[in-house]
Amino acid sequence: MAVHPTLKATFASRAETATHPLTKYLFKLMDLKASNLCLSADVATARELLYFADKIGPYIVVLKTHYDMVSGWDFHPETGTGAKLASLARRHGFLIFEDRKFGDIGNTVELQYVSGSARIIDWAHIVNVNMVPGKASVTSLANAAARWLERYPCEVRTSVTVGTPTLGHFSDDESEDEPDAEPERPPVKRDNDGRKGSIVSVTTVTQRYESALSPRFNKSISEGDEVLFPGIDEAPLERGLLILAQMSSEGNFMNKEYTQACVEAARENKSFVMGFISQEALNTEPDDAFIHMTPGCQLPPDDEGKNGVLKGDGKGQQYNTPQKIIGISGADIAIVGRGILKANDPVEEAERYRSASWKAYTERVR
């Protein structure tokens, strides 16, 4: 089977062709930070969560949370734990992925996403869905996100790009009058009958939604929260979904038929679905451009993992090295949890994982 183009394409080039605003942003962030690492911040308290988000934030592009396992979570929409995570995400340059694994009928998952005490949609850029209930769970979440965006206080940010004039853009109906001389003006092409062609510049206008609560617009935000990660704009307001297509746990029931149904649902909802939580790359059609994130990543001790496969944790979790996950199986982002959180020096270990995962990616696209 031929290698799918996305496996050899750089993150920078995939950012140029991505259609989902959040996918485009994430690829740009990955290229800018030279990181394809996600921290699975499975901790017990809000204090720990914010601590690790701050300390490990410079090394990651995604922070994965489980808000419902965190004690002391402050649900205040403006000053609570979710808002503080969003501030750290702006400062350090990462996206927040709430690993909620929605898995119910459409009406229920909509309410779980946009309402309740947590209001996940307000602070999490990305969520995921267990598609056991069927495709309706995906479309319901997409519809809920679209309605939320319509009601959200936002600004429309417009950017205008003017292309350099070229000799290939000319009009046949211009006047014969010569313009006033201008310094360093490009030469003018003439048709066979001597008529002058006019030089036309190409103007591109792009628009994107940006939160009215952004530091860019909201002057009431404290000075510390105004810091944005240098080199990239704030994340777009649009939300994204990952479909849980495959799992790393031993004996799971996600068979090939289930995985194929996940791929079909993603193709039918490209404006909302960014990609998959999976164990391998699932892009097979020419226009598939989904992103893949894989959990169960661990760097081995010197005497283990020579073939890229590591021992499990005794609770069903199976581990693989970054080289196996990124280089061989074709994932884009490696998800690491306890390998960093339980290290003697989590910051140093985060850099070790970032370096190893990035190396596996660069060798894959070489």
Nearest to 307 by CA among 321, 326, 297, 325: 321
Amino acid occupying residue 47? R
* CA pair distance 154, 149, nearest whole angstrom: 9
Tokens representing 316? Answer: 């069903």
Looking from the CA of 174 toward its CB, the CA atoms found within 13 Å total 19
Identity of residue 46: A
Q: Any idea which residues carry the catalytic annotation?
A: 99, 101, 104
Q: Is 64 annotated as a binding residue?
A: yes
Among all chains, which residue has been given the structure tokens 């950017």? 159
DSSP designation for 70: -
Q: Is 74 annotated as ligand-binding?
A: no
Alpha-helical runs (H) found in 252-330: 256-268, 322
Q: How many residues does the chain have?
A: 366
C-alpha to C-alpha distance for 10 and 228, rounded to whole angstroms:
25
Judge whether 337 is annotated as a binding position. yes
Instruction: State the amino acid at position 334 in one-letter form.
Output: A
Is 303 annotated among the ligand-binding residues?
Answer: no
Q: Is 248 assigned to a binding site?
A: yes
277 contacts 246 by C-beta, under 8 angstroms: yes
Residue 220 CB neighbour total at 10 angstroms: 7
User: Quick one: tokens of 218?
Assistant: 């909201």
Helix or strand run (H / E) with residue 84: helix 81-92
Which residues line the annotated binding site for substrate?
42, 64, 248, 317, 337-338
Which residues line the annotated binding site?
42, 64, 248, 317, 337-338
